[in-house]
Amino acid sequence: MHPHLVPKSPLYKATYYAIHREQAFRRCFTDGRFEIDNGEVERQLRKVAPGRKNFLFAGSDKGAERLAVAFTVFRSCSMHAVNPLTWATDVLTKLQDGWPRSRLDELLPDAWARAHAAASEAPSSSAP
């Protein structure tokens, strides 16, 4: 640290924070999955704010938790360009047919979108 920074000052604290997290901060330059800012997250949170009023009418705390989970999953569908009705219909059918618990992650909207994109890109097996 710079010898002229006062340890309790906001500048010292900010500098200390940045220096000790440098590797994490640089990750956005080496791993394309990380955004350089959190603007997209902030925009998504703004869409959730009106839903807070809806949680008041969920019937119970447990109902509000379930509603929040549903909103989260449908927002994830939106982020991955997945039609929520198509996704929910497919997932509920698979669950009803005994989809294994060990593979539940495959049914999340991001994985579901990848699987369906790969399936739609696969060559057709029907001969002319």
pLDDT per position as a tens digit, 99-120:
999 999 999 999 999 999 877 6
In Å, the largest CA–CA distance within the chain is 79
Q: Is residue 6 part of a domain?
A: no
Question: Is the pTM of the predicted complex or chain greater than 0.75?
Answer: no
Q: CA geometry: angle at 37 spanning 118 and 40, to 5°?
A: 55
Cα 7 to Cα 15: distance, rounded to the nearest angstrom: 10
* Residue 106 in domain: yes
Q: How many separate domains does the chain show?
A: 1
Judge contact between 85 and 95, C-beta under 8 A: no
3 domain-assigned: no
Query: The domain containing residue 76 runs over which residues?
Result: 58-120
CB of 111 closer than 8 Å to CB of 99: no
Q: Is residue 53 part of a domain?
A: no
pLDDT tens per residue across span 11-48: 888 888 888 888 888 888 888 887 778 787 788 777 76
User: What percent of the chain shows pLDDT beyond 90?
Assistant: 29
Q: Which residues are within 8 A (CB) of 72 and not within 5 positions of it... i.e. 6 or more apart?
A: none
Q: What is the mean pLDDT of residues 66-94?
A: 91
- Looking at residue 28, its pLDDT comes to 80
Residue 23 maps to a domain: no
